[in-house]
Amino acid sequence: MSKSSRRIVQAQLNIFDLIQEVSQKQAEAAAHPQTAGKASIDAAVRHLITDALKRCLLDRYEVAAKMSSILGVEITKAQLDSWSAESKENHRFPYIYIGAFCQASGCKALARYMAELCGGYFIEGEDAIRLELGKIEEEKADIANRERAIRAYLERLHGR
């Protein structure tokens, strides 16, 4: 392998730029009503479900059928309608269905919103792999620093 093929591409994002970019995308994708408390979360979830269903290439019957298949529990169009309607205050979207909804609708905005509520990030695909690789590189550097410190301590002990 030649030296030129080992060069780092300057246009490549570093891990901090990647986190910042993902954070900005999440902030743009998540709905943020101005009201406080549970109402804001409820309204945001309903909005995200409604928006995902509008953008989805499948109709609500098909999304419900896909969710049913994924979960092994019957999900109906009427349930989707209730979870998205602001007038149905007593019909809340079950948290345990988020993964199935995201898969069925093809929209990950609801998962991004939930991650953001917890102070985290929703990172998928190649970006997640890059972040994991970055963590491994940091761990390797930490181990190398600890190894150097131990070797230096041993040298002092033996008077070298």
Three-state helix/strand/coil letters over the chain: CCHHHHCCCCCCCCHHHHHHHHHHHHHHHCCCCCCCCHHHHHHHHHHHHHHHHHHCCCCHHHHHHHHHHHHCCCCCHHHHHHHHCCCCCCCCCCHHHHHHHHHHHCCCHHHHHHHHHCCCCCCCHHHHHHHHHHHHHHHHHHHHHHHHHHHHHHHHHCCC
Q: Confirm whether 118 is domain-assigned.
A: yes
Q: Confirm whether 17 is domain-assigned.
A: yes
Say which residue, 105 or 11, is predicted with more confidence. Answer: 105
- Which range of residues forms the domain containing residue 29? 8-123
Q: Confirm whether 158 is domain-assigned.
A: no
Each residue's pLDDT tens digit, 95-110: 999 999 999 999 999 9
Q: Is the pLDDT of residue 27 over 90?
A: no
Q: Confirm whether 66 is domain-assigned.
A: yes
Q: Confirm whether 31 is domain-assigned.
A: yes
Q: Confirm whether 112 is domain-assigned.
A: yes
Q: Is the pLDDT of residue 34 over 50?
A: no
Quote the percentage of the chain above a pLDDT of 90: 48
Q: Confirm whether 62 is domain-assigned.
A: yes
Q: Confirm whether 2 is domain-assigned.
A: no
Q: What is the number of structural domains in the chain?
A: 1
